[in-house]
Amino acid sequence: MSDSAGTTLTERSQHALQDDFLRAAVKFTTERLRGRKTDSTNDLGNWEEWRERGKQIRAHTIAHLDYYLDQFTTQVERAGGKVHFAKDGAEAVAIALEIAQQKNAQSVVKSKSMVSEELHINHHFGEHGIECIETDLGEYIVQLAHEMPSHIIIPAIHMNRHQIAELFSSESGEQLSSETSVLAGFARRKLREKFMQADIGMTGCNFAIAESGSVVLFSNEGNGRMVTTLPKTHIVMMGMERIIPTWEDLEVMANLLPRSATGQKLTVYLSAMTGPRRQMELDGAEDMHIIILDNGRSNQLGSPEFQEILHCIRCGACLNVCPVYRHIGGHAYGSVYPGPIGAVLTPLLNPEDEQIQELSYASSLCGACYDACPVKIPLHDMLVHLRRKKVEAGRTSRWERLAFRGFAAAFGSSKRYRLAMNTARALQKVTVKDGSRMSGFLDMAPLIKGWHEHRALPYSEGKSFRDSWQDLQQELRSAPAQGSPADGSKEGEK
Ligand code: SF4
């Protein structure tokens, strides 16, 4: 769970809203990413056609997931790898630990993997005396800070180089300057030692290609290649939905993912592994294990509302456009998956956790996430479905239920609606001060208090629209008809 586990979404958000540095850092980086994405998709020319193709590939794959998982498994095993299926996190962790114990492993180096974050694998290895080191620079920073990633693609988006210099200084035991070259140099030296010593390399998987049994990694730092070639054993942790059918499909994904994630036309390193090292090959792991995780994913198969969540390619583009994420950052979500994708995925993967269900309210439902999504996942619709489920399960507050009962009663008949509006108009004379600010009276209203802490309610001047409309009708009825002798106009004077 989160760095602030145990607190509510509202409490974590309020905490984040007080942090001006966090908000400025997240705003700066997400705006830069959005700008780059716009440039790189404009360069491509027909972005909407690429999106549509991406959506079709993901929809077809997920609709035939059993077939492609079977094909993938056969091909991996033909290439000498081993596939393990894990129904939940505990099973996946147990498989990984068993492999590590069989190898007498003392240390594991990891390249970026959201699934392993989902399972808190570093913690589990640590409990068994196995050191597990993140080697993606951003992940390494948040690991040293004992934090969770706060963005899918840029885990340390909330930190600046001075904070990173402090972390690295305490790790190295000497004062390091905050020059980025110094910081990168320290991480490179430190991680290189770890690569050389590690018994196991663990990676995630951006795409798994069913037709050949290959695991494909996209990275910008080259650490993925060190992790997969230096240690003798390679463990891949992947969600069961990572599959695509063919290499031809990868071409589409290789255009969609980097452009959506960082605005790059192509990722810097695109690595593909098909089974372990073969005879005569100079590098690569001698053993390859692929752990395919369900952990609640298969529950979404066949769901008309939620199956499409499995289409996600974890690009992070929905985070960069989300007005809520840009204000509260990633940690406020209290989940390894922040932003709009996290607000849908986390409640779906944890249906029994009542507190997590509140994440579906971390959205303005503006739909910007849908427009940004390279595979057109309607996250905003899913958020509404999740809220509906929460209401149907009776998981809403007493005040909310009361408010909506009042709303339904008022809007259920035109007579009651008019009465409610007239009462509200009369009440604003005592609740809205100085034409723009609310008085202390409404500060006590439970549902409105939080809303108006950051907003001013405008005073509604003059008549209501309904009254003005009636007056206008009245005027028109009593005015003399145009062109009649009484209005003095003559034909031809136009
Ligand atoms: S939901 Fe779409 S935009 Fe968000 S991470 Fe997934 S693929 Fe990217």
pLDDT for res 2 = 40
The dotted CATH code for 9-136+196-300 is 3.40.50.10420
pLDDT digits (tens, 9 = 90+) for 128-148: 999 999 999 999 999 999 999
pLDDT for res 26 = 94
Which of ligand 1's atoms lies nearest the C-alpha of 309?
1
pLDDT digits (tens, 9 = 90+) for 362-402: 999 999 999 999 999 999 999 999 999 999 988 888 888 88
pLDDT digits (tens, 9 = 90+) for 337-358: 999 999 999 999 999 998 999 9
The confidence band for 483, taking pLDDT boundaries of 50, 70 and 90, is low
The confidence band for 489, taking pLDDT boundaries of 50, 70 and 90, is very low
Extents of the domains making up the chain: 9-136+196-300, 413-478
Is the pLDDT confidence value at 5 over 70?
Answer: no
Residue with the bigger pLDDT between 422 and 232: it is 232
Pull the structure tokens for residue 256.
């969609």
Distance 312 CA to ligand 1 centre (A): 5
pLDDT for res 491 = 44
CA distance 246 to 211: 6
CA distance 475 to 472: 5
Average pLDDT over residues 196-201: 96
Pull the structure tokens for residue 112.
């970026």
pLDDT for res 3 = 45
377 close to ligand 1 (CB < 6 Angstrom): yes
Distance 377 CA to ligand 1 centre (A): 7
Residue with the bigger pLDDT between 450 and 154: it is 154
Distance 347 CA to ligand 1 centre (A): 16
Distance 330 CA to ligand 1 centre (A): 15
Pull the structure tokens for residue 337.
């998956």
315 close to ligand 1 (CB < 6 Angstrom): yes
Mean pLDDT of the chain: 91
The confidence band for 227, taking pLDDT boundaries of 50, 70 and 90, is very high
309 close to ligand 1 (CB < 6 Angstrom): no
Find the radius of gyration of the CA atoms of the chain: 28
Distance 113 CA to ligand 1 centre (A): 16
Cα–Cα distances (Å) from 312 to 116, 139, 212, 239, 242, in that order, read 17, 21, 22, 11, 9
pLDDT digits (tens, 9 = 90+) for 320-342: 999 999 999 999 999 999 999 99
Q: What is the sign, positive or negative, of the torsion defined by CA atoms of 345, 350, 351, 356?
A: negative
Pull the structure tokens for residue 488.
């003095």
Which of ligand 1's atoms lies nearest the C-alpha of 339?
4
pLDDT for res 460 = 75
285 close to ligand 1 (CB < 6 Angstrom): no
pLDDT for res 398 = 85
Residues 6+ apart with CB under 8 A from 212: 75, 79, 247, 274
pLDDT for res 94 = 98
The confidence band for 480, taking pLDDT boundaries of 50, 70 and 90, is confident
Is the pLDDT confidence value at 433 over 70?
Answer: no
341 close to ligand 1 (CB < 6 Angstrom): yes
Nearest CA to ligand 1 atom 8: 315
Side-chain half-sphere of 52: how many Cα atoms within 13 Å? Answer: 4
Average pLDDT over residues 163-175: 94
Cβ(291)–Cβ(92) under 8 Å?
yes
Exposed / middle / buried, residue 377 (Cβ in 10 Å: 0-12, 13-18, 19+): buried
Nearest CA to ligand 1 atom 6: 312
Average pLDDT over residues 239-250: 98
pLDDT for res 423 = 86
208 close to ligand 1 (CB < 6 Angstrom): no
pLDDT for res 446 = 61
The confidence band for 404, taking pLDDT boundaries of 50, 70 and 90, is confident
The confidence band for 361, taking pLDDT boundaries of 50, 70 and 90, is very high
Is the pLDDT confidence value at 454 over 70?
Answer: no
347 close to ligand 1 (CB < 6 Angstrom): no
pLDDT digits (tens, 9 = 90+) for 257-290: 999 999 999 999 999 999 999 988 888 999 999 9
Quote the percentage of the chain above a pLDDT of 70: 91
Q: pTM of the predicted model, to two decimals?
A: 0.87
Cβ(384)–Cβ(377) under 8 Å?
no
